Amino acid sequence: MTIARLGVVGGGLMGSGITEVGARAGLSVVTVEVDDDAAKRAAERVEASLRKAEQRGKLTADDVAATLERVTFTADLEALADRDLVVEAASEDERTKLDLFRTLGSILESDDAVLASNTSSIPIVKLGAVSGRADRVMGVHFFNPAPVMRLVELIPSLTTSPETLQRMQTFVSETLGKEPIEATDRAGFVVNSLLVPYLLSAIRMYEAGYASAADIDSGMVLGCGHPMGPLALADLIGLDTVRAIGVSMYEEFKEPLYSPPPVLDRMVEAGLLGKKSGHGFYPYDR
């Protein structure tokens, strides 16, 4: 059961990245946003990324043109009806995702079509339960920036069929050329279960006045050889996303290290979300 038609719900940083990955792999891609303006911004985001790849010599002008021809941007969820695989990359809000899976499960025409979520922490089994096709629902978690990062976490739930998991393993490794790892359906999966407590610890250190954001980040870059400091990384991920993952993990495990610090709550409430909003722990040129 070859996957040739990909659908993506959400055209933000992750959704546009997944769109680009699929289109560069030769797939027909339909990306759905909340309205026409958001769909236009998603199209611009994908084209800008492709042009950067062209400037770096990774793609030719013909490659860029051919890739863009394979993508359609729309605000109509019904446009996903004929897709072989739909990856949901909406905001990290459980109610939003449940509503989407309930709707998508009724839209998809093929009984073989797979529904996947790019969630970082929300239980996959819940999404499958509302979809009406629980055996064909699983987590397929890309990392930002999706066109560059090679890892994809695959998260089957208790109700995901072995055939669906095998199909996604083949799709990720052979069609997309990325490296899949399998994780159990627990909040945080593999990477975020390790990464998010580290990020939250750095935020607590900043909140307590141990050091400036720049010095905390320099300490980890220069002292531990990390490519990016934890606060800059939190800004890149999005502080609202970091907070949402922490909340989800704390609700499941009740471990204090997963609980978002008060300063993170305040920054999210103030709209200081990191790079995507123009300001987080650092200012950014939007």
- Among 153, 157, 248, 277, the one annotated catalytic: 153
5-182: CATH topology:
Rossmann fold (3.40.50)
Q: Where are the domains of the chain?
A: 5-182, 192-277
Is 141 one of the annotated active-site residues of the chain?
yes
Architecture of domain 192-277: Orthogonal Bundle (1.10)
Is 174 one of the annotated active-site residues of the chain?
no
Give the C-alpha separation, 179 to 36, whole Å.
Answer: 34
pLDDT in tens, 207-253: 999 999 999 999 999 999 999 999 999 999 999 999 999 999 999 99
**pLDDT at site 210:** 97
- Among 141, 157, 248, 277, the one annotated catalytic: 141
- Among 120, 121, 248, 277, the one annotated catalytic: 120
pLDDT in tens, 119-176: 988 899 999 999 999 999 999 999 989 999 999 999 999 999 999 999 999 999 999 9
pLDDT in tens, 257-266: 999 999 999 9
DSSP alpha helix (H) spans, the chain = 13-24, 36-55, 61-69, 94-107, 124-131, 162-170, 191-207, 213-224, 230-237, 239-253, 262-269
Give the C-alpha separation, 10 to 6, whole Å.
Answer: 13
